[in-house]
Chains A and B, each alone.
Chain A
Amino acid sequence: MIPQAPILAIVVPLFSAFLMPMIGLLSKRYNIDRACDWFAVAAMVGTLIIVASMAPTVWGGQIIVYKFGNWSPPWGINLAIDALSIQMALMIAGLGTLVMVYSVAYMQRDSRRDLFYTLALLVITGMMGTILTGDIFNFYVFLEIMSVASYALIAFRRDSSGIEAGLKYLFIGSLGTSFVLLSIAMLYSFVGSLNIADLGAKLAIYRGAAQPVPTILVASLALFVTGIMIKVAMVPFHIWLPDAFTAAPTAVSALLAGPAAVVGIYWVARLPYLPFGLPVGIILVSLGLLSMIVGVLMALTQRDFKRMLAYHVISQKGYMVLGIGLGTLGSVLGAQGGLFHLLNHSIYKSMLFMCAGAVLYRTGSQKFEELGGLGKNMPLTALTFLIGSLAISGIPPLNGFVSKYTIYLGGIEAGLPIVTIIAVLVSALTFASFFKAFSSVFLGQRPKHLRDIQEAPKLMLFPMLAMAVVCIVIGLFPALGFNVVGPAQAAAENSAGYIGHVIGGI
Chain B
Amino acid sequence: MIEILSFLLAYFIFPGLLFASVLGLLFIGIDRKVTAHMQHRIGPPIWQEFLDFGKLLGKEDITPAAAQGFVFTLAPLIALGAAITVMLLLPINSARPALTSVADLIIIIYLLNIPAICVMLGGYSSACPFGAVGANRYVVQLFSYELIFIVTVLTAAVKVGSLSIGDIITYQAHNSWLAFKLPLATAAIVVAAQAKLLRVPFDIPEAESEIVHGPFTEYSGPKLGLMRLAYAIELFAVAGLITALFFGGPVAHTIAGVQIPGVVSFLIKTFAIVLFTTNIRNIAARLRIDQAMKFFWTIIALIAIVNLIIVVL
Contacts and interface: CB of A to CB of B under 8 A. Distances in A.
The reply, when asked whether chain A contacts chain B directly with Cβ atoms under 8 A, is yes
Interface of A: 373, 375-376, 379, 382, 395-396, 401, 405, 408-409, 417, 420-421, 424-425, 428-429, 431-432, 435-436, 439, 442-446
Interface string B96-113: 000000010011001101
Contact of B147 (A421, A431, A435, A445): A421
Contacts of B114: 395
B71 A375 contact: yes
Contacts of A409: 103
Interface string B167-208: 000000000000000000000000000000000000000000
Given A435-B139, A442-B68, A446-B66, A373 B127 contact: yes
A57 B78 CA distance: 44
Interface of B: 66, 68, 70-71, 103, 106-107, 110-111, 113-114, 117, 120-121, 124-125, 127, 132, 135, 139-140, 142-143, 146-147, 150-151, 154, 158, 308, 312
Contact of B143 (A376, A401, A432, A439): A432
B312 A432 contact: no
Contacts of B66: 373, 445-446
Contacts, number: 72
Nearest to B110: A396
Contacts of A436: 139
Nearest to B125: A443
B68 A375 contact: yes
A72 to B, nearest CB: 48
A428 B142 contact: yes
The B interface is mostly helix, strand or loop, or mixed, namely: helix
Contacts of B120: 435
16 contacts: A375-B70, A375-B71, A395-B117, A396-B111, A405-B106, A417-B154, A421-B147, A421-B150, A421-B151, A428-B143, A429-B143, A432-B140, A439-B121, A439-B124, A439-B135, A444-B132
A444 B143 contact: no
A425 B68 contact: no
A376 B64 CA distance: 13
Contacts of B139: 432, 435-436
A482 to B, nearest CB: 15
Contacts of A382: 68
Contacts of B312: 417
The A interface is mostly helix, strand or loop, or mixed, namely: helix
B163 to A, nearest CB: 9
A431 B107 CA distance: 17
Nearest to A444: B127
B218 to A, nearest CB: 12
B183 to A, nearest CB: 21
The 10 closest A-B pairs by CB, nearest first: A375-B68, A439-B124, A443-B124, A443-B125, A432-B139, A445-B127, A428-B146, A428-B143, A424-B150, A396-B110
Contacts of A420: 154
B160 to A, nearest CB: 14
Given A424-B150, A425-B147, 10 more contacts: A375-B70, A396-B107, A396-B110, A405-B106, A417-B312, A421-B147, A428-B143, A432-B143, A435-B124, A443-B71
Nearest to A433: B139
Contacts of A424: 146-147, 150
Contacts of B146: 424-425, 428
A358 to B, nearest CB: 17
A401 B142 contact: no
A337 to B, nearest CB: 14
B145 to A, nearest CB: 10
Nearest to A393: B117
B154 A373 contact: no
A401 B110 contact: yes
Contacts of B135: 435, 439
B110 A395 contact: yes
Nearest to B117: A395
Contact of A443 (B68, B110, B113, B308): B68
Contacts of B127: 373, 443-446
B147 A375 contact: no
A439 B121 CA distance: 8
Most buried by B among A379, A409, A428, A446: A428
B267 to A, nearest CB: 29
